[in-house]
Amino acid sequence: MAGAYFTKHEIENPRLDADLLVAEVLDVNRLYLYTHFERPLEASELARLKTYIQCRIEGYSVAAIVGKKEFMRLPFVVTKDVLIPRPATETLVETVLEHCGETPLRVLDIGTGSGAIILSLLHYRPQWTGIACDISAPALAVARQNAARLEVSDRVEIIESDLFHSLADQTFDIIVSNPPYIPNGEIEGLAPEVRNEPMTALRGGEDGLAIYRRMIPAMVPHLRKGALCAVEIGAEQGAAVSALVREVNAFSEPAVRQDLQNLDRVVWWKRI
């Protein structure tokens, strides 16, 4: 039923979305649906599914509807107050893990949102500690919930801060960020499920580079010698963000890494 309805409304991946929503209603995995396809929905389950279907038609993603999303093979709570973690962002986490060993290091995540980036790093590197900051108090509440679920609350401080404003003279071995990088003029052309996410996590200024211009030079006093910096970028921003890094004498030559779709996704460099 749901799959056909989604097809009618031109929802991308109609069968997958329908399966995921039905599985959520029944609290089962997708395999269960195929082995119990004759099981009828109870009245309460059908009512809940209809609500989910309407939300999907209105342009909300499945993750936003069910309130959870897997990232780096870990479960994260998501709400309307945070950007839904994307598979492409796993490239950022993987870049850091590949370039940093398992010795104790201190991480800063700027614009943490749900906390997916830094909490994944702390999960896979039990010796690391860090700070997650964001300007959104509701987003920080979600990050704290995720930190507790992943049992890393004792190794991360979650604070409200506009970039480095609340960090005084603190220094770090790693700084990561997935800042807003969509040019303002392109927002209206985004898919509805993206436009329904927080605008503060999307709008990157006229050319999408506004936050990078503020953030990159401001990193210097907060970086220990040899520290790693890694930021997510839009698919066509590799050259522009690399140029901003080269303007700072304290940084090494930046490198661009592509995601699994062979699109530029991460710029990384070191403090020299």
Segment 124-143, tens digit of pLDDT: 999 999 999 999 999 999 99
* 8 Å CB contact between 208 and 260: no
Residue carrying structure tokens 């997916």:
116
Which H/E stretch holds residue 138? helix 137-149
The whole-angstrom separation of Cα 117 and Cα 152 is 13
Query: How far out from the chain centre does Cα 128 lie?
Result: 20
Which residue type is seen at 245?
A: V
Range 66-70 average pLDDT: 96
Higher pLDDT, 13 or 179: 179
Parallel/antiparallel/unpaired status of strands 223-232 and 172-177? parallel
Q: Which residues are annotated as a binding site for substrate?
A: 178-181
How far, in Å, are 88, 105, 181 from residue 185 at the CA level? Answer: 22, 39, 12
Residue 32 confidence (pLDDT) above 90: no
Locate all alpha helices (DSSP H) within 9-125, ordered by sequence. 14-26, 30-35, 43-57, 62-66, 90-99, 116-124
Instruction: Report the candidate in 20, 181, 159, 16 with the shortest Cα–Cα distance to residue 89.
Output: 181
C-alpha–C-alpha distance, residues 33 and 11, integer Å:
21
- Per residue in 35-59, pLDDT (tens digit) is 887 888 889 988 999 999 999 989 8
Binding residues: 111-115, 134, 178-181
Confidence band (pLDDT; 50, 70, 90) for 29?
confident
Q: Give the residue from 148, 3, 176 showing the smallest Cα distance to 77.
A: 148
Q: Could you tell me the end-to-end alpha-carbon distance of the chain, in angstroms, rounded to an integer?
A: 59
| Nearest alpha-carbon partner for 223 in 253, 256, 266, 252 | 252
Please check the confidence at residue 195 and state whether its pLDDT lies above 70: yes
pLDDT(9) > 70: no
- Bigger pLDDT: 1 or 161? 161
- Residue 145 confidence (pLDDT): 99
Q: Which two tokens stand for residue 171?
A: 């220094």
Beta strand 255-258 with 172-177 is unpaired
Which tokens sit at 224? 């220990």
pTM above 0.85?
yes
Binding residues for S-adenosyl-L-methionine: 111-115, 134, 178
Average pLDDT over residues 96-124: 98
The CATH number that domain 80-270 falls under is: 3.40.50.150
Spatial CA neighbour of 200 closest among 82, 78, 89, 71: 82
- Provide CATH 3.40.50.150 ranges for the chain: 80-270
Judged against a pLDDT cut of 90, whether residue 110 lies above it is answered with: yes
CA quadruple 2, 3, 7, 11: dihedral positive or negative? positive
CB atoms within 10 A of CB 189: 9
Average pLDDT along the chain: 95
Query: Residue 30's pLDDT is what?
Result: 85
Confidence of residue 100 (pLDDT cuts 50, 70, 90): very high
Determine phi and psi for 172, rounding to 5 degrees: -140, 160
Model confidence band, residue 1 (pLDDT cutoffs 50, 70, 90): low
Which among 262, 107, 83 has a CA at the least distance from the CA of 172? 107
User: Token digits for 73?
Assistant: 């093979």
